[in-house]
């Protein structure tokens, strides 16, 4: 009786293992190479659309490497590239965004003089800045970078106190957009891009946020640490743009 029961149990276990093996190897392959899997996936009417886009491609502009084009704006042949390493929970970053960055984008990026790169540099001392960076990155990859960054900085004091980053992001997106953003955040496929920004910052090295790196067309880089007013930055940008 006991032997028969054990035999039946072992047979059932073997059958389950054999049935599960192909699925397991497929899942492993999908985990190790998500982009490849996505690219080779056969279209199926029953399959749900994959929210994750193809593997993000990083570009180089004006000698500045590892730029996520979804987090950058402007003319790639602009004479000056401006990277801003910031943390969504840092008050000085909010001030830089509100008082300086917006005006630089309006007067220099939109006129083709500066190529602007948002770099994520979430500091470990801030509880929600990494989450905010993840949502911002995901939003950028569905073309909603500006709206989400604006909301995160504008409502910084609110979500800093409550931790409601997701709700802040949702307040400026449609439900469909939010679903896409949430899927990207949950999938974690964009996290390496945040890590890449952090690595790039550590090489500078970025010791505090915000830090802006201005790179002229001759390849020379100038770090500007801390908050800088638009008027002060303007004189410097004009000088760099005028350089041959």
Partner 1 sequence: MLQSAPFTARRIIIWIGRLVLAGIFIYAGYSKLFTPNLMLQSFFMFKFSISSNISNFGQQVRSYELLSESGVSFVSHVLPPAELVLGFLLLLGWRLRIWATIVTLILLGFISVVTRAYLLGMQIDCGCFGKPEPLTGVTVLRDGALLLLAVLMTVFAFQEARQPHPWNAASNPS
The residues that touch partner 1, with contacts defined as CB under 8 A, are 91-92, 95, 160, 207-208, 222-229, 232-233, 235-236, 239
Q: How far is the CB of 238 from partner 1 (least distance, A)?
A: 11
> With left for phi above 0 and alpha for psi between -120 and 50, is residue 70 left, alpha or beta?
alpha
Please say which residue, 25 or 208, places its beta carbon nearer to partner 1.
Answer: 208
Q: How far is the CB of 51 from partner 1 (least distance, A)?
A: 35
Q: DSSP alpha helices (H): ranges in 89-190?
A: 91-95, 102-104, 129-140, 145-154, 156-162, 165-170, 175-187
Q: How far is the CB of 154 from partner 1 (least distance, A)?
A: 16
Q: How far is the CB of 230 from partner 1 (least distance, A)?
A: 9
State the burial class of residue 5 (Cβ atoms within 10 Å of its Cβ: 0-12, 13-18, 19+): exposed
Please say which residue, 112 or 226, places its beta carbon nearer to partner 1.
Answer: 226
Please say which residue, 28 or 243, places its beta carbon nearer to partner 1.
Answer: 243
Q: How far is the CB of 101 from partner 1 (least distance, A)?
A: 14
Q: Please state the φ and ψ torsions of residue 59, each to the nearest 5 degrees.
A: -120, 165
Residue 204: which of 103, 95, 65, 9 has the closest Cα? 65
Q: How many CB atoms lie within 10 A of CB 13?
A: 10
Please say which residue, 123 or 183, places its beta carbon nearer to partner 1.
Answer: 123
Please say which residue, 184 or 212, places its beta carbon nearer to partner 1.
Answer: 212
């Amino acid at each position: 009786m006991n032997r028969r029961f054990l035999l039946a149990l072992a047979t059932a276990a073997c059958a389950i293992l054999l049935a599960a093996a192909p699925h397991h190897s497929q899942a492993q392959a999908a985990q190790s190479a998500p982009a490849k899997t996505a690219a080779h996936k056969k279209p199926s009417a029953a399959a749900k659309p994959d929210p994750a886009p193809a593997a993000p491609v990083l570009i180089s502009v004006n000698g500045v490497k590892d730029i996520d084009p979804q987090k950058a704006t402007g003319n790639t042949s602009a004479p000056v590239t401006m990277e801003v390493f910031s943390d969504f929970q840092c008050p000085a970053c909010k001030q830089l965004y509100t008082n300086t960055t917006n005006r630089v984008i309006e007067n220099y990026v939109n006129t083709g003089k500066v190529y602007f790169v948002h770099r994520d540099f979430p500091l470990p001392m801030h509880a929600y800045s990494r989450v905010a960076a993840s949502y911002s990155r995901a939003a950028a990859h569905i073309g909603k970078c500006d709206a989400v960054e604006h909301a995160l900085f504008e409502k910084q004091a609110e979500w800093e106190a409550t931790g409601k980053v997701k709700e802040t992001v949702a307040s400026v997106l449609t439900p469909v957009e939010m679903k896409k953003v949430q899927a990207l955040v949950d999938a974690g496929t964009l996290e390496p891009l945040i890590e890449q920004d952090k690595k790039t910052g550590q090489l500078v090295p970025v010791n505090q946020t915000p830090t802006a790196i201005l790179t002229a067309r001759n390849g020379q880089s100038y770090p500007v640490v801390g908050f800088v007013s638009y008027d002060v930055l303007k004189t410097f940008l004009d000088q760099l743009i005028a350089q041959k």
